[in-house]
Amino acid sequence: MFNRPTYDLRDPFPWYEYMRSNQPVWQEDSGAWHVFRHDDVKRVLSDHESFSSQRGTTDDPSNPISASLISSDPPRHRQLRTLVSQAFTPALSTISPGASNRLRRISSMRCHRGILRSTSWKG
């Protein structure tokens, strides 16, 4: 526990790996909770009665994150997600096949160099 790697924004993966193995559920001094294992994350994201984005440090109305999609619970989350999807889906559909291929190659090169650990780009 005391040998926890320092979180590095440029390469957070050693920290994530440590946390999944040693502290899969962790609370920051600020009160924010972090959940690192897949099954735990699925439960947190689907059990809105037990887990809520509205309970915590983002309740401050002066904090721009408190009104965002990531900090909202159903039904507001669904409303915001629908608006965002309507705005971005047409733009994404206009990406040319050439651009999709370039993005796929760049993602592949970054994974090979260790910059990205994995990619789910489906193009």
Could you give the CA distance from residue 121 to residue 123 in angstroms, rounded to a whole number?
Answer: 6
pLDDT of residue 123: 44
| Angstrom distance (rounded) from CA 48 to CA 59 | 16
**H/E run at residue 33:** strand 33-35
The model's pLDDT over 50-105, given as tens digits with 9 standing for 90+, comes to 888 765 544 566 766 666 777 788 888 889 889 888 887 777 677 777 777 887 77
Quote the pTM value: 0.54
